[in-house]
Amino acid sequence: MSIAKIIESNTPSFDLWDRQLDEHFHAQYHPGDISKEENERIFFQTNELLMDIASNFFIYGKFKDKWDTSKCHLNFSGQNLLLKSEKMTLTFDWGLQGNEFYMDVYIMYPENLRYMTDDFWLMLLELKSMGTFEYSGSGYLTAKERPFFENKTSTIFQLLRNFMLY
């Protein structure tokens, strides 16, 4: 299904999602204004919101995978839903931090990057156009390597550099 059709199919939910998000922000920034029971209701409601949105990832990605979405957590800056892939044995941290949605995942087996197609790299680049996209790789550059490999402006270069060096 195209992204446009997925968005269109979710249009009836947008008002509900707005209300749920507003309640989440109110509970996050004004915790003294609501009861413990109301806070608990909003917590579970926010999980449902995150899951509703995440279900669109699964539809769009057409992944041949099983996902465990049963774990979540709340922290001082937001609420997260953990999307665990059975096939990849990776956990994607999807949630709200401050006033923004975010997704975070660690590349556990960077040696598999060599199997990625051009379509993967194009989609990775498209993430830049959707907001903040960062790659914080492992490893470090020695003083000798730094002049040849240091780059803070290209996420793709940083990813490939780390793959080739480490």
SS (H, E, C) 8-67: HHHHHHHHHHHHHHHHHHHHHHCHHHCCHHHHHHHHHHHHHHHHHHHHHHHHHHCCCCCE
CA distance 92 to 57: 12
The confidence score (pLDDT) of residue 31 equals: 87
Whether residue 128 is contained in a domain is answered as: yes
The parent domain of residue 145 ranges over: 107-166
The answer to whether residue 133 sits within a structural domain is yes
pLDDT per residue as tens digits for the range 40-54: 999 999 999 999 999
Q: What are the angstrom distances between the C-alpha of 13 and each of 18, 49, 50, 83, 149?
A: 9, 10, 13, 21, 46
Does residue 145 form part of some domain?
Answer: yes
Q: Identify the band that residue 157 occupies on the pLDDT scale cut at 50, 70 and 90.
A: low
Contact 37, 15 (CB under 8 A): no
- Please indicate, yes or no, if residue 24 is contained in any of the structural domains: no
Q: For residue 148, is it within any domain?
A: yes
pLDDT, position 21: 95
Residue 150 domain-assigned (yes or no):
yes
Mean pLDDT is highest, among 5-9, 27-31, 156-160, for 5-9
Return mean pLDDT, the chain.
Answer: 83
User: Is residue 120 in a domain?
Assistant: yes
Q: What is the pLDDT of residue 1?
A: 79
The domain tally of the chain equals 1
Q: What is the pLDDT of residue 129?
A: 79
For residue 144, is it within any domain? yes
Each residue's pLDDT tens digit, 113-146: 778 788 887 887 787 777 777 666 555 556 666 5
